[in-house]
Amino acid sequence: MPDSDEVDGRITSSTWFVKRAKRNLLHLCAYLHAPSCVRLLVHPPYTWDPDQPDRTNQTPMHFAEARDDLATLFELIHLSREQRQPSLWPLRRPQLNGLASVCLFWPQQMLACPVSLRAILTENRTIGISGCQDNMSTQYVYRTLMIGPLLALLLDLYIATPELFEFDLWTGQEIPPANVSHSFENNRFWPIRTNELDAEAISHAGCTIYPHCLYQLSIQCRLLGRTLLDTLVQVRSRWLLHRCTTNVDSDESKDENGSTGFEQGSRSWSPFRLMDYCRAIVRRTLVSVHGLTMRQNYAQLVSRLHVPDPIHTQLLYRDIWDGGDFEPYLLDGHGGNVPLGVPLDAQHVRYDDGPGDIGLLIGHRFIPDRVSNSVGAS
């Protein structure tokens, strides 16, 4: 039950549902993955603050990001005042949680701390505190592996900005930061390197649960003791199988031997859709232009393009990560979310340059006291 001193019984942003941690209804909705409720609270007539910190200096934005809950984060990210800039506030690599969210919405952070292959494909264990209970001393150990939609998202982000990753998708080898060959121009996805696709991937052509099959495959590889490189080859092959094949309704794609290259004979290799390539070019351009000097998040940059809503959501890769409920596809003992409640240090700071130069600095996340003209809302 909420704690409130108001006599009329109305719930406001100062009504604490978790009294000791000073968490209001928006904190709770963000923690419990309720994007529809979050959307209601942050828009008129309520307009609650997505950047309001609780007693541990965690915001609704941070709750959603820490869980890689992109559906909830999508409702908050356009309205947030939060800024991140490596040249002003040193950034840290998100190893255990929030990696896909950061890569999508805060590319400047991943330019400074590129994504490692181990962070994507290995199992993580972390200790968290329940965000909806008042007993702050109760801790839980979470074992997580990146769910299918997030794996698919990161692989698609690689198409646009391979420099956000510290490994080569085709070899699995670590890439030095100054390696000029690790670039958009030198990472071609067509024609497909079909010789790298093994029999297991070909036999999987009839799959109907993509992208959740990527998660299940990564679990199987881990349980079988596969190396990171072997796991990458398996996951990449299956991703390419789903992203670069199309149904064949005629005999046009058959070779001189009457074969399509697939045992089922019903699918054929095809390039990525033109819309996907255009999305990659837009992202590549925005990240290249703003780079490490970028302060606002990627969703706000896209909003400034003033494109129709369907294109806006396409540019934010919603068709990949918003794939419905993933829980039916989770395997026993291998969850996909990481609720965190570790207290964070915060200080009220003043910077002499740039808009919104007075605000709250929580780690590397800067929340101005006022909204600058450079931060747009969608």
Per the CB < 8 A criterion, the answer to whether 100 and 120 are in contact is: no
Phi and psi dihedrals of 141, rounded to 5? -100, 125
- Residue 370 resides in a domain: no
| Angle between helix 228-243 and helix 148-160 axes, rounded to 10 deg | 80
Choose among 139, 146, 143, 138: nearest CA to 126.
143
Neighbouring residues of 160: CB distance < 8 A, sequence distance ≥ 6? 184, 279, 280, 281, 283, 284, 287
Please indicate, yes or no, whether residues 26 and 108 belong to a single structural domain of this protein. Answer: no
Per the CB < 8 A criterion, the answer to whether 155 and 239 are in contact is: yes
Please indicate, yes or no, whether residues 212 and 68 belong to a single structural domain of this protein. Answer: no
- Residue 372 resides in a domain: no
Per the CB < 8 A criterion, the answer to whether 189 and 169 are in contact is: no
- Residue 259 resides in a domain: no
The DSSP output letter for 107 is H
Please indicate, yes or no, whether residues 54 and 155 belong to a single structural domain of this protein. Answer: no
Please indicate, yes or no, whether residues 38 and 101 belong to a single structural domain of this protein. Answer: no
- Residue 347 resides in a domain: no
CA 74 to chain centre: 10
For the chain, 378 residues long, give each residue's pLDDT as a single digit of tens: 555 455 467 899 999 988 888 999 999 999 888 999 999 999 999 999 999 999 888 899 988 988 888 999 999 999 999 998 887 776 666 555 678 999 999 999 888 888 889 888 887 655 555 555 555 555 555 556 788 999 999 999 999 999 899 998 888 888 876 555 555 556 667 777 666 665 656 677 678 899 999 989 998 998 899 999 999 988 998 998 888 877 665 455 454 544 444 544 466 778 888 999 999 999 999 999 998 888 899 999 999 999 999 999 999 999 999 977 777 877 765 555 444 444 556 677 776 555 557 887 776 677 788 655 444 433
Choose among 143, 155, 165, 63: nearest CA to 333.
143
- Residue 106 resides in a domain: yes
pTM: 0.82
Question: Whole-angstrom distance between the N-terminal and C-terminal Cα of the chain?
Answer: 33
Please indicate, yes or no, whether residues 238 and 299 belong to a single structural domain of this protein. Answer: yes
Q: Where are the alpha helices (DSSP H) in 82-223?
A: 99-105, 107-112, 117-121, 148-160, 199-203, 212-223
Please indicate, yes or no, whether residues 65 and 102 belong to a single structural domain of this protein. Answer: no
Please indicate, yes or no, whether residues 69 and 96 belong to a single structural domain of this protein. Answer: no
Please indicate, yes or no, whether residues 281 and 309 belong to a single structural domain of this protein. Answer: yes
The HSE-up count of residue 1 (CA atoms within 13 Å, CB side) is: 4
User: For residue 356, with 0-12 CB atoms within 10 Å meaning exposed, 13-18 middle and 19 or more buried, which class applies?
Assistant: buried
Measured over the CA atoms of residue 105, residue 108, residue 111 and residue 113, the dihedral's sign is negative
pLDDT at residue number 145: 72
Please indicate, yes or no, whether residues 177 and 305 belong to a single structural domain of this protein. Answer: yes
Which residue do the tokens 């704690």 mark?
Answer: 3
Residues in the chain: 378
Please indicate, yes or no, whether residues 279 and 326 belong to a single structural domain of this protein. Answer: yes
Choose among 67, 28, 7, 6: nearest CA to 335.
67
- Residue 195 resides in a domain: yes
Distance CA 367, CA 51 (A): 7
Could you tell me where the beta strands, DSSP code E, fall in the chain? 124-129, 139-144, 245-247, 267-269, 346-350, 358-362, 365-368
Please indicate, yes or no, whether residues 59 and 160 belong to a single structural domain of this protein. Answer: no
The helix, strand and coil proportions of the chain, stated in percent and rounded to the nearest 5, come to 35, 10, 50
Please indicate, yes or no, whether residues 208 and 307 belong to a single structural domain of this protein. Answer: yes
The DSSP output letter for 273 is P
CATH number at residue 71: 1.25.40.20
Domain span including residue 19: 11-82
- Residue 261 resides in a domain: no
- Residue 289 resides in a domain: yes
Tally of structural domains, the chain: 2
